[in-house]
Amino acid sequence: MIGASLSRWTMAFFAVAICLLVVAEALMSLGYGFPSHALEAPETLLVVHLVAIGWLSLLMCGALFQFVPVLVAKPLRRPALVLPVLVCVATGLAFLLAGFLEMAGTLDSGIPFLALGGMLLPFGFALAAWSLAETLWTARPLALPARFVAMGLVCLVAVAALGTIFAHLLSGTLSGDALLARERPAVPLHAAIGIGGWLTFSAIGVSYRLLPMFMLAPDGARATTRWVWRSGVAAVLALCILAPVELAVGESALWSLAVAGACALVAIVLYGADLVFFFRHRKRRVVELNIRAAGGAFAALAAASVLGIVLVLDGTLATQAGALVYLACFGWLGGLGLSQLYKIVPFLTWLECYGPVMGRKPTPRVQDLVAERRDGPWFVLYFVAVFVGTGALLAGMPGLFRVAAAATLLASVAIAAELVLARRLHNVAAARRFPDGTRQPALFMAVPKGR
């Protein structure tokens, strides 16, 4: 039995991730990228990677470095790699985005930015996967939540490998007719493994532990959870093994994507059943804002699943993929991220500041670090704006989409400001803020007790 400690750099991951979310939302509200530009335009690629790598992947890495040790009750292996992960991924992303600017003609430097990004990003993600996978390895046999994270890491490696090939094809450091012919059909695969595999699988794994923990619901392994796992793994295998084979023989991976989609659908429905079970069997009658706000994210996941089915049956998936990706990234993953940050940041801040004196001095409650009544409307605005934005994309109304994106920007900035206030203990009454033996936590870094 090993205790968990605070991850030193998790707050820095969160801070960089939120800043990049704000930049992405600002760009979208200014009309940069889809739908003002084409889906495959470099401007769209820039915004998509800003969101998928800058916001969602850095958020997930920061969260996993903190919670994988809690999930498996083992200390993080190779903690020295954590800061290099942040530096490599952030720098690699900057290079990648510069490469897209070169493609768009905005930048003309002659520096092979895409190739540089295509080296630093996979290196950074490989370091993250190494540290986390080795930690999971020491904890075998893995309980189900940790297995989801393990599969998420497999997908991280796969999506990074595909992305690396794309970056080097685009920059010209890699060539070959066979590869070039398959670049386009492999793009949906890259997106599906990234959003559905790496990000969704990991988010589901962490949520299986965190949600019951904060709702006081039973979290023993259930039959539905085992089937979420099995069907999810089948979807990932279809994407990571079947699809490359299909692409090697033919020129598209449509069948593999269809199989993966069907399996993913089963997994999502059963995951929904588990969420309902947690909610119904919770011991806390009144749930906090992070759980209520997560409801918006789960609604977005359900809506994205239905939208996916409709678009496939309608034959419009290729033209409307932008709306689907937007809903999945901002409604489901981003919404879950923002809502859980609203709990995780105050919780970790409380532990850091008040852990050393708890029991000896009166300490505020974790809820005292936030002002739920003030912040609830920001989450409502965020989710309403995401749903309106999705509708605007589907209806082909770019003007309305920009308004919706501006509303998500406003809500995200407000929530980010509240997280900074929580970290600064601003909402705690001044007289109770710093009992003897406590000190102000640093904004971007946790200092584990040196005792």
**Contact residues: another protein, CB under 8 A:** 1-5, 70, 73-74, 138, 141, 143, 213-214, 216, 218-221, 283-284, 347, 350-351, 355-360, 363, 365-366, 436-437, 449, 451
Longest dimension (CA), the chain: 70
Tokens of 205: 């794994």
Q: Which is nearer to another protein, 295 or 355 (CB)?
A: 355
d(CA 59, CA 53): 9
Which residues, other chains included, contact 214 with Cβ-Cβ below 8 Å and sequence gap of 6+?
A: 284, 287, 288, 290, 291, 343
d(CA 344, CA 9): 14
What angle, rounded to 10 degrees, do the helices at 335-354 and 289-314 form? 160
Residue 441 beta carbon to another protein: minimum distance, rounded to whole angstroms: 15
Residue 350 beta carbon to another protein: minimum distance, rounded to whole angstroms: 7
Residue 45 beta carbon to another protein: minimum distance, rounded to whole angstroms: 41
Q: Which is nearer to another protein, 218 or 376 (CB)?
A: 218
The CA-CA-CA angle for residues 31, 33, 37, to 5°, reads 95
Q: Which is nearer to another protein, 150 or 240 (CB)?
A: 150
Taking phi over 0 as left and psi of -120 to 50 as alpha, with beta for the rest, 439 belongs to beta
Q: Which is nearer to another protein, 184 or 365 (CB)?
A: 365
Residue 337 beta carbon to another protein: minimum distance, rounded to whole angstroms: 20
Which residues, other chains included, contact 439 with Cβ-Cβ below 8 Å and sequence gap of 6+?
A: 353
Judge whether 77 and 71 are in contact, CB under 8 Å: no
Q: Which is nearer to another protein, 356 or 391 (CB)?
A: 356
Residue 51 beta carbon to another protein: minimum distance, rounded to whole angstroms: 31
Residue 363 beta carbon to another protein: minimum distance, rounded to whole angstroms: 7
Q: Which is nearer to another protein, 221 or 258 (CB)?
A: 221
